[in-house]
Structure 1
Amino acid sequence: MSAFRDRYGASPLHLLLVLASFALTLYAGVRLLRGDTVGVLIWFVGAALIHDLLLLPAYSVTDRAARRLCRRAPKDGGSGAPVRHGPSVNYLRVPAFLSGLLLLVWWPLILRQVPHYTAATGLPADVFLGRWLLITAGLFAVSALCLLLRMRRSGRSVQPE
């Protein structure tokens, strides 16, 4: 057993789980590609390109801006370099991520891109943008409340990590 672990780098159970996940992925891929193979492949390549060329730089710049907003000047006047609040930026990241995830899942309804939605379900299609904006505002409000409670509980500003 230790020779296997030394050679593979993990336990046999790990190898079994990795092989099972590959088998499940292969099964799902075969089932998915049975329909419109070219369309699915174009969608995957397009999604990868859009993510890597547009979305990754956009949310990297956004995260850098959020981290810059969460800096403060040192009180002791020591080195003059700003002290970062490590965990406080997460109070922006988490609601932004959840809001983006909701937008990703429901964007056709939020942006009114689904024709005849009302006829199929009986629900009006024009309420989703407002609801998404309210949920987003609520997520940021709850996050801000959590940050304020954390600051109050500590008796001072948020401690850097």
Structure 2
Amino acid sequence: MADPIARLRATYGAGPRHVVVLLLCFAVTGWVALRLSGEVAAWHTLLWFVGAVVFHDLVLFPVYASVDRALRGALGVGRRPTGDPSRGAPHRPAPDGVRLALLNHLRAPALAAGLLFLVFLPGLFGWGADTYRAATAEERVPFLARWLALSGALFLVSLGWWAIRWARWRSRAGRRNPPR
């Protein structure tokens, strides 16, 4: 008889840990759904969730996929060879790790800034000032300026970190390939 884990991988496509984690996620989701089912605002929550999924799939995903594709093209990351190497046609070398690292150092703060934007969206546009005042007894703070400052700081820290990595890479490459 065949190994049950190998059979699971062949039919399901992943190992047993994946199945267990997925079942735990379904259990937590079911528990949350049961907790919300008795709430008056359950339909509002469901409507918000469905709207968020549709908005993400129809608007956000095409936008950030296009931006990522443009960045990859500008940095030359992931280009496929041009021409046929068997006929001696020229082709581009594989992308180096430095350009891919730069792309990832742009992606990470962009993701963080995007998530912060979505979390603080009402405050960024000044929506709910009365609710904020009622909940905190304070006037609304300038969320937009703070979000811009925090996003800029995230990009600066990430690019500074990349510059340090790049300098270290250059010094190691120089030691391996000394000038002749």
TM over 0.5: yes
Contact 1:95 1:143 in 2 (8 A): yes
Partners in 1 of 2:124 and 2:109 — Cα distance? 18
* Residue 93 of structure 1, aligned match among 102, 107, 127: 107
Partners in 2 of 1:41 and 1:121 — Cα distance? 27
Say which SS state the counterpart of residue 125 (structure 1) adopts.
Answer: coil
What's the CA shift for 1:23?
2.1
Larger Rg: 2
1:54 has 2:59 as partner = yes
CA distance change for structure 1 residues 70 and 124 in 2, over 3 Å: closer, same or farther? farther
Specify the alignment match of 1:21 in structure 2: 25
- RMSD over aligned CA atoms reads 2.9
Partners in 1 of 2:64 and 2:34 — Cα distance? 33
* Residue 71 of structure 1, aligned match among 67, 76, 85: 76
Relative contact order (alpha carbons < 8 A, sep ≥ 6): 1 or 2 greater?
1
Specify the alignment match of 2:81 in structure 1: none
5+ residue gaps, structure 2: 10-14, 78-88, 174-180
- Matched AA of 2:133: T
1:1-161 maps to which residues of 2 (within 5 A)?
3-9=3-9, 10-11=15-16, 15-35=19-39, 36-71=41-76, 79=90, 81=92, 84=95, 85-116=99-130, 117-155=132-170
Partners in 1 of 2:160 and 2:120 — Cα distance? 27
- Matched AA of 1:5: I
5+ residue gaps, structure 1: 73-77
Q: Deviations over 1:43-80 (max 9, x none)?
A: 222111111110110000011111122239xxxxx936
TM-score calculated relative to the size of structure 1: 0.77
TM-score calculated relative to the size of structure 2: 0.70
Identity of aligned residues (%): 34
